[in-house]
Chains A and B, each alone.
Chain A
Amino acid sequence: MIAAQGLSRAFGGRTVVDAVSFEVNRSEIVALLGPNGAGKTTTMRMLAGLVKPTRGSVHVLGVELTRATGPDLRARIGFLTESPGLWDRLTVRENLRVYASIYGIADADRVIARALDLFELTPHGLARAAELSKGMRQKVALARALLHEPPVLLLDEPTSGLDPEIARSVRALLRERRAAGCAILVSTHNLDEAERVADRVAVLHGRLVAIDRPAALRQRLMTGRVVVRLAGDPAPHLPIVRRFDAAPEVDGASLTLSLPRAEQEVPALVRALAAAGAGIVEVRHEMPALEDVYLRLLGEDRGRPAS
């Protein structure tokens, strides 16, 4: 649905985005993660046709984004900008009405009413944008981005400034749009949100450091640490455990072992413990948090020489 191919952008002599390639497919949510200045907003702007790449290309729905195709393709993209960008003197309804007219939406009243309802903004429809809280403004901006039911959504920090309840409803909405076939790219600092909502996570640090499913990214940091929780005191079984790891960590009924060859060693450990009469409640790999993966990837990238 939307594809970046070798996308680069330099401002002056400084390369902000360097040879970034990825795709967001139909019915997929990709989260774009990266620290401040990583090029997330520039990437989003290039994908929306607002900033021209120095090198590389963008394809939206199979059509290359150019100066000529830009206006038509922008009609198929819903772009939530970093700042809500509402006209303060206009009411919420009027703000949406202008955009409905720009998109040539027939039956604009019904579409606007539905958008207001979806974001629980109906009681605020006649309020001027200037009177709204930050969260409300963000909701109006989201409603505006979705107004024309675009097949491609580019959302820069969609839950920024929203309270947890509304943020949750926004995530639900994104899942709903995904189910409806949208390709959705979400830029965020919020790793928890990325994990909750995204099918894949792209870590950007000028260049694309990694892109994969959250679970697959975590798998990269798998250290071979295994947690075994026993029913009752684990002390009688420690000699067996030490055959596999000489220095297991003991925390109550839980034992954490370092098993470099976990695939082979875990079954053998479980068999040995069971044979010794240990009550095994749980055996699991210790999974790193996405945050750990993210920080590790960025750390590795900072250590790389510049291309």
Chain B
Amino acid sequence: MKKYRVRALVGKELREVSRNLAVLLPVGIVTMVALVLPFVVAMGIPAITGHPLGDDRDLVNVSGAIPGPGYLAGEARVQYFLFQQFLLVFLLMPITGAMALAAHAVVGEKQARTLEPLLATPVTTAELLVAKVLGALAPTLGIALPGLVLYFAGIAALAEPGVLRAMLVPRTLLMIGLLGPAAALVSLQAAIVVSSRVNDARTAQQFGVLLILPLTVVLIAQFTGSLWLTTAQLALIGLGLLALWAALTLVSVVLFERETILTRWR
């Protein structure tokens, strides 16, 4: 795999996105919702109802079920629980928006009839597909990372004292640095597989939506408090996802039939 070719194609993808920022709107909206929602739940609702989170027995019990620093109690402990759980939501939600971008990647090129000249160059299938994934991932991270900064800035400004400190632990860094990007790579690569196997963009997006289902299961488990992953588990899952991405990349190369795409797609 030649890096300069991947770089050229990723650059092309980013330039195209920069000329059509509307395609990033779903990512932006989802990121915004994921950013605002935890603060609405952790601060807004208690402020509106006049009932602090620490008064909710069920919530206190659930939040106590996950490991946390001993210096947090009551309201701060529940807030810590919510912000930790919403962090994963925050990392996964933007992927759903980026799926549309990835699902359109190959079928879009085909429909614009730009794929054939590209396939007539030395670009290999692996280079093309990796570039497509990175081309969808980069703008997603470009939106998600500033959102992440705002997320922690919001916690620093609005949450109970000690919550931010409790959040800044290796587990959090692992989620941000490994789990989020690895999950995004897997999801986007799967969307690319779909994109290279269907004939039109609408079908690609329909299938892309189906790929979001596993993420939804994770999100539901998060909300119920039934899923708490330790740092070691997170690291394993992150590495597993990276391995899965590599395997999916190989699968997508095998499933990408240059000839069929050129001769049978209309």
Interface residues of A (CB under 8 A from B): 11, 42, 45, 48-52, 71-72, 74-75, 77, 79, 81-83, 85-90, 94, 98-99, 101-104, 128, 141, 144
Contact = CB atoms under 8 A, between A and B. Distances in A.
Contact of B119 (A50, A52, A89, A104): A50
Contact of A90 (B15, B113, B118): B15
B15, B122, B124 interface centre (most CB from chain A within 10 Å):
B122
A85 B9 contact: no
Contacts of A74: 120-122
A81 B117 contact: yes
Nearest to A90: B15
B4 A101 contact: yes
24 contacts: A45-B262, A48-B120, A50-B116, A50-B120, A51-B263, A72-B122, A75-B121, A75-B122, A79-B120, A81-B117, A82-B116, A83-B113, A85-B113, A86-B114, A87-B12, A87-B114, A89-B15, A89-B16, A90-B12, A90-B15, A98-B9, A102-B9, A102-B118, A103-B121
Contact of B262 (A50, A88, A98): A50
Contacts of B116: 50, 81-83, 85
Contacts of B4: 101, 104
Nearest to A98: B12
B19 A89 contact: yes
B202 interface: no
Interface string B101-134: 0000000000011111111111110000000000
Interface of B: 2, 4-5, 7-9, 11-12, 15-16, 19-20, 112-124, 258-259, 262-263
Given A51-B262, A71-B123, A83-B116, 9 more contacts: A50-B259, A77-B120, A79-B120, A81-B113, A85-B113, A87-B12, A89-B15, A90-B12, A94-B12
Contact of A51 (B2, B5, B19, B259): B259
Contact of B8 (A88, A102, A128): A102
A42 B262 CA distance: 10
Contacts of B262: 45, 50-51
Contacts, number: 84
Contacts of B15: 89-90, 94
Nearest to A86: B114
A65 B120 CA distance: 13
Given A50-B259, A90-B15, A102-B121, A85 B5 contact: no
Contacts of A104: 2, 4-5
A87 B121 contact: no
A103 B117 CA distance: 13
A244 B8 CA distance: 73
B16 A90 contact: yes
Contacts of B7: 101
Contact of A102 (B113, B114, B115, B123): B123
Contacts of B112: 85, 87-88
A88 B12 CA distance: 11
Contacts of B122: 71-72, 74-75, 102-103
Given A89-B19, A90-B15, A94-B15, A11 B120 contact: no
Nearest to B120: A79
B197 to A, nearest CB: 18
B118 to A, nearest CB: 8
Contacts of A99: 117, 121
Nearest to A79: B120
